[in-house]
């Protein structure tokens, strides 16, 4: 039995705090902010006592999205490091005004870059065998997406590859080997047998966090997306008992995978 698994757990979208730099500009209430985050994920993936490192983020992804490249500024990018509209198409800021370059620069300096520095520090100072960038997703694609209304799988695993985990082109490497991604998918399929589809790179292939930190260190990265229907009621409320059970099942899936591939 391993005391601590050699995992880095990144939880970038679980926070719901509003940074002081944008207070007074925000058009959303707390309910909308929570809905547009990954609610419950700081608990769901918080395996602090069992893995090498857990790095989470308390600021809402609406105001600082650490899974976007630092040059994706508004208003040119509506889904960049600072959001312009929510998943339902609601303006994030009053009077349709997005923060200027000075504010965005402060958000990068105060929150975005420190989060990535913490990830880099964990990778450099712990024996990390694999890193997981951990998220939740709505049961169906939201109105702002091209595939609006499409039903989503219960689990989506991303390595920036195709639906088998293989590179989509020779010059576009994956962040985790196809064999490992397929083994991880099998582990989730065994745990969630008969409950729904476990997908690879559909609808999410992975984001900036996995790409940037894999490129720097070559440590394998997988983005995990869990369907919120597994722990939320039809009204969107978190059901605590289901959340606790799901946490155990996710941990069982990733450790079962590791026990298989690490031999």
Q: Please state, in angstroms and rounded to a whole number, the distance separating the CA atoms of residues 253 and 183.
A: 10
- Per-residue pLDDT of 82-93, as tens digits, reads 999 998 889 999
How far is residue 127 from each of residues 12, 43, 87, 166, 248, measured CA to CA in Å? 21, 23, 37, 26, 23
State the pLDDT at residue 2. Answer: 57
User: 26 forms bridges with which residues in the sheet?
Assistant: 93
- What is the SS3 assignment for 104? helix
Q: What are the residue ranges in the chain where pLDDT is below 70?
A: 1-2
Q: What is the pLDDT of residues 103-124, one digit of tens each?
A: 999 999 999 999 999 999 999 9
pLDDT value of residue 106: 97
The reported pLDDT for the residue numbered 97 is 83
């Amino acid at each position: 039995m391993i005391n601590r698994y050699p995992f880095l757990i990144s939880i970038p979208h679980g926070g719901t705090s509003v940074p002081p730099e944008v207070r007074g500009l925000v058009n959303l209430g707390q309910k909308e902010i929570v809905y547009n985050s990954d609610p419950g994920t700081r608990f769901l993936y918080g395996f602090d006592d069992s893995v090498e490192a857990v790095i989470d983020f308390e600021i809402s992804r609406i105001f600082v999205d650490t899974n976007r490249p630092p040059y994706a500024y508004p208003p040119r990018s509506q889904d960049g490091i600072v959001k312009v509209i929510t998943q339902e198409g609601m303006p994030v800021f009053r009077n349709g005004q997005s923060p200027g370059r000075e504010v965005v620069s402060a958000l990068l300096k105060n929150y975005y870059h420190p989060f990535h520095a913490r990830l880099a520090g964990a990778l450099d100072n712990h024996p990390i065998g694999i890193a997981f960038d951990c998220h939740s997703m709505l049961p169906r694609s939201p109105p702002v997406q091209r595939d609006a209304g499409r039903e989503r799988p219960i689990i989506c695993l991303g390595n920036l590859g195709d639906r088998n985990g293989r590179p989509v082109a020779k010059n576009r490497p994956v962040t985790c080997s196809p064999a490992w991604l397929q083994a991880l998918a099998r582990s989730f399929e065994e745990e969630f047998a008969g409950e729904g589809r476990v997908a690879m790179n559909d609808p999410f292939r992975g984001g900036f966090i996995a790409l940037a930190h894999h490129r720097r260190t070559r440590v394998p990265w997988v983005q995990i997306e869990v369907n919120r229907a597994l722990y939320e009621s039809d009204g969107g409320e978190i059901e605590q008992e289901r959340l606790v059970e799901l946490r155990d099942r996710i941990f069982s899936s990733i450790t079962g995978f590791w026990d298989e591939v690490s031999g």
